Structures are given as C-alpha cells and as structure tokens.
Structure 1
Amino acid sequence: MEFNFLEELLSYYKEYDKKCGFGVMTKQTDRDEDDSVRYITLCCARGGKARNRTLNVANPRPTGKTECKAKINALRKNGVLRLTTVHNIHNHGLSPKKSWFFRCNRKVSDAVKRVLDTNDMAGIRANKRYESLVVGASGFENLPFLEKDCLIILTNQDIYDLAQVVPEHSDNREMKNAIAIVFPNTQHRFCLWHILKKVPEKLGSYGSYKTGMKNALMKCVYDSQHVYEFEKCWDELLTTYNLHENAWLHSLYVEREHWVPTFLKEWFWAGMSTTQ
C-alpha cells in the first residue's frame, strides 16, 4: 500500500486499530532535511518491555506492555510512503469496544482547546481539588445561552474560599480571571446570599456576635449608599469589635467590589441568587 502524506497513513492505521481493538504509537521516525518523514514505524501501544513505573515495589503500578510485535513500517520512495513491513499478530487480547479510550484515539475538540487556552491566560494550574470549577468558568463561552456581550454574571463566592482546602492557593482567583478574559465587558458579582449565609459560621464564636456585631455588619452591607460610607462603616466595624485579624473578613474586603451592593448598584440584578 502507498500513501501520499503521513497524515493519510496515520489516519488509515488508526481506523484499522479502532476496528481491531488495539492502540497505536509511533516507535521510530527518520526525517529528511526538509523535515518530511523518510521512514516511520508504527506499532501496537502494548509493544515494548514492561517497566515498573513507581518506586513503591510493594504496590507497583500496573502496566499494559506485553512486548507485542504487531507493527508496520513505511519508507518514502518516489514521493510516496510505501508499506515495507506489516505484522498483524498480537500477543494479547483485542478490545474493539474500548478503542475510543485508547490514548491515540482521544480527540480534543476546538471548544476544549479554547477552554485550555483561556485557563492558561488566566494562570490556572491543574489541581484536582478545584480544577473542574475553574475550567467551568472559561467554559462559559461555549454555552449556547451566553453571548459575548452579556451584561452580568452571578457566581457563588464559595468557590473562592480556598483557604481551608488549598492554603497555598487562597489568594488565587482563577474563576474571576477566566471570566474577565472571556467576558471583558461583563460585570461579575458574587452571590450575596451565599456570603452572608456564612456569617454565623465565621463570626458566631465571638462573644459580641449577638450583642451588636451581626447588626453592625448587616448595616454596613445594606445601609451604605455610597462607597465612602461603606469604607467608613467597615473600618468602624473592625475597630469596634477587634476584627482586624479576621482572615475571612479581610478576604471579603479585598473582593468588596464583587459583592457589596453599593459597589454594584449601577447594574440591575433582580434580587437574584445562584440558588435560583
């Protein structure tokens, strides 16, 4: 068999491996000075010797290598890649129904590529504890009901309270960064209901919580009609009840433009919360 381009050869052999039920990997390539492939060997993904992939000899990680000899070789001659060797005998079972799970057959859609690019721009690092939610932020752009010029976005502030889970990342704001990149002209707000729901948990242990602290906090949040009023009221709250060292209140103050009503009164929110 002959193929005009390397892509044609790869596509053909991958279709063959999907029908038969084995994975494919490139074992060897040789290129000319113009970077075109002169010689290539494609083999079964289970070829090669099994290696212990962990230092823990008591609990080694499983490996799929079986020294399988199935392979094809192709050599470029007269401008085309011609198969010179074909060996189709495998020393292991084949699984046609599982072909889509083989690494060689996994495809990354354009939508996912955009998500990954956005995550990279936002400085998002893969972390199993909150990877899915930060990827979800940049994934907003792929939802059919969201347009690039949408006016407001409301999210749950809980996802930013990472101090208890991942202390070294407590100052990161991946979701906020991703939204700012995907929707640069959109006002992003944290759900006020979810924030205030945490007040008893975060401040309830203070002796003055029920004797004035709670009411002072609510007055500061709801009754401040101007930014300078909020700033003054907040400073009085911290001073009166000795809350300057409270990490939760400090984190809220840093993000005040995303949840305090007086900072957001120029936009219409319809009194909504993320629970709706």
Structure 2
Amino acid sequence: MYVILDRQKDDWMVLNLELKHTHPCSAKKSVHYHEYRELTMHVKCVIKDNDEPGIQPNKTYLALTNKVGGLSNLSYSEKDCISHILNKIPAKLGGYARYREIHAKMTGIVWNAQSVDSFEKD
C-alpha cells in the first residue's frame, strides 16, 4: 500500500493498493488471531477446578500447555484463561455492596501490573 499525506486537506490519500498476501498463509498461525481462539468446555472446567483451591492461572496454563504438547498446539492464550476467571467474578461477588469498587481494583491489578512484584504488592 502506498499513501501520501495531503497537507491542504490534512488527510491521507491512498495511491496504490495490492490486495494479495505478500507472505505464505499458515493454518498453524491462525491461533494468534483473536477470532480463532476459544476455550473448550474441558479447559473451562480445568480452570474452574484449579481456581477454587487457589492455583495460579499461569500454572494452570502451563499444565494445559504440557498436556497438549506445547504452545503451538493451543487454541487459546494465557490471557484467555485469566479473562475466563475474571468473567466469573460477578457471579461470586455480585451481591456485595462494594462489588464495583472491588471489581475495578482487581481488574486494574490483573491487567495493569507492570511486573510480578507490582502484582504481588497490590
């Protein structure tokens, strides 16, 4: 794709566009696209069973990775596992008066932690 900036209109203008892949397409790499990632019922049950006794999501993810023979064989990411756990929180904590405050704080800690130390500190 070739584009230029039209300074008079303060907008970009497309000059040339080629609608073909410049690289070979691979079915193995489709897992990296968000629309192809999904958690199976088995994986959801494993995550739920491991979350109740307090097993960390990354340990669950590593166990599931080893079970299928490596990262390249997974149809989901570690972020998907954490997201599944966070989506179950309203059912468990929704009745508390301070639920919104707790949920906002926990979501901020999980997704905005810069390092393991900052996650553990919060």
Measured against the shorter chain, the TM-score band is 0.3 to 0.5
Normalising by structure 2, we get a TM-score of 0.43
Rg bigger for which structure?
1
Structure scoring higher RCO (CA < 8 A, sep ≥ 6) equals 2
Normalising by structure 1, we get a TM-score of 0.22
